[in-house]
Amino acid sequence: MRCILVLITIILCISLNSQITVTDNDREYSLKYDIDSVSYRVLRFSKGFGDSLFTYLNYSRSKNTDGFEKEMTILDTLFGKSVGKIALDLRSVSIGYPLEFDDIMPKYIRTFIDSKQWSDHIKAKGRELDYKLMRKVILEGGVFESFLSLLKKYGYEVKEISTEKHGFVLKEDLKRYGYQGDEIIPVPFMLYWKLEKIKLLNTE
């Protein structure tokens, strides 16, 4: 199985190499991966006025995701092609919000169901959002572990997250992901990861 996964990654990387367009200016460096004539992925680094380093990363898609793990493979490849090309000091990253990734939503929902703190909150407050608690459960729940590992590979770790435009997972979506439909699961529609640099270990 490991050999198959390595082969898939190699094939994907070869495919990506022939379909990447780089755009570079004073405040932005972006890599666009064209999947076909209408579908693409874009990894964009940007910086504020007066900044000498790129501090913000945004990963976006032209259509619905093909799955979180596949998106992380593409993001990893694009990120790797940026190393050494620009000066980075990333402080904030956006890759999308939970409901965009069908493959992680069952685990996302289960994480909140299994959280004693969230269960206690529901008993006391019902369908009242607690932003601080929601962010804590998301950050510590391991739902985005492959993304956090990718960041560490490039010398960053998440110190906190921020969220905007909140709601709850809809009844029909809860049922679609295998749950009863009456679970109270909060979800942000904008999610930002706040980063800090870490020291990379020399593995040579």
Cα gap 36→54, rounded to integer Å: 29
Domain that holds residue 91: 2-197
Q: Is the pLDDT of residue 89 over 70?
A: yes
Q: By CB neighbour count within 10 A (0-12 exposed, 13-18 middle, 19+ buried), where does 34 fall?
A: middle
Long-range contacts of 2-11 (CB under 8 A, 24+ apart): 9/73
pLDDT at 63: 77
The whole-number pLDDT of residue 49 equals 81
Q: Whole-angstrom distance between the N-terminal and C-terminal Cα of the chain?
A: 26
Query: How confident is the model over 108-125, as a mean pLDDT?
Result: 97
- Give the mean model confidence (pLDDT) for residues 37-55: 89
Cα Rg, the chain, nearest whole Å: 18
Residue 128 included in any domain: yes
Q: Is the pLDDT of residue 9 over 80?
A: no
Residue 203 has pLDDT above 50, yes or no: no
- Of residues 137 and 6, the one with the higher pLDDT is 137
Rounded to the nearest 5°, which phi and psi values hold at 95? -125, 5
In this prediction, residues 130-157 reach a mean pLDDT of 96
Number of domains in the chain: 1
Residue 156 belongs to some domain of the structure: yes
Q: What is the pTM of this model?
A: 0.84
- Domain assignment of residue 124, yes or no: yes
- What confidence tier does 204 reach under pLDDT thresholds 50, 70, 90? very low
12 is a domain residue = yes
In sequence order, the β-bridge partners of residue 197 are 156
| More confident position, 123 or 12 | 123
User: Which tokens go with 14?
Assistant: 């070869």
204 found inside a domain: no
Res 201: pLDDT: 59
Residue 47 in any domain: the answer is yes
